Copies of this chain bind each other. A is one copy, B any other.
Amino acid sequence: MPVYADSLQNLINLLNRLPGIGPKSAERLAFFIVKMSDDERQQLIKALMEVKSGIKQCAICGQWNSNSPCKICGDAKRDHSFLSVVAETQDLAAVERTNEFHGIYHVLGGTLNPLTGITADDLNIKSLLARLQKNQPAIKEVIFALNPDVEGETTILYLAKILKPFKIKLTRLARGLPLGADLEYADEVTLADAFKGRRTL
């Protein structure tokens, strides 16, 4: 015998499909939504209906934002000779929040992953090559800002190979100990990287 009403169970099942939402969280969210005021629920429904129509993928860098070309690609004040390659729009946002990088971006839309069947054709690599071929204004450095995991490393290796003919400086983010880390508990690869990348004071 199903315990919940059909409409509630249906919402629980759909919420459960979202990333990071297990069956228990889905239940909790569904009950929270039931207990919301009609106004609040309508706000959420409206936001879901409008989210897609309010955003466009930038024809240049591939990020999801309100305009195409996006504000960053169209910003003459930014240094267009530094191009940072990121996996997703969220990663671009994370880099922007550091206020450390003032160049432009290219959003791949993912990383190479043979297990989930994501190949080079699924990523915005053609448009990256087209940007570099055009090279107007001249790009001096391509910075790979990808996650330091198997997929990220594979993607960096692949891109480094196909971008080699352009003879542009290729760099990647430093690996090392994150702020607040504990030497004792750091994994060996990270600690070794931190040693290799040590900086003069």
Contact = CB atoms under 8 A, between A and B. Distances in A.
Interface in A35-91: 38, 41, 43-45, 47-56, 64-66, 71, 88-90
A4 interface: yes
Interface of A is mostly: helix
Contacts of A47: 7, 10-11, 14
The residue among A33, A52, A65 with the most chain B CB atoms within 10 A of its own CB is A52
Oligomer copy total:
2
B51 A7 contact: yes
Nearest to A19: B32
Interface stretch (A22-30, A111-119, A161-169): A22-30
A195 interface: no
Interface of A: 1, 3-8, 10-11, 14, 18-21, 25, 27-34, 38, 41, 43-45, 47-56, 64-66, 71, 88-90, 92-93, 96-97
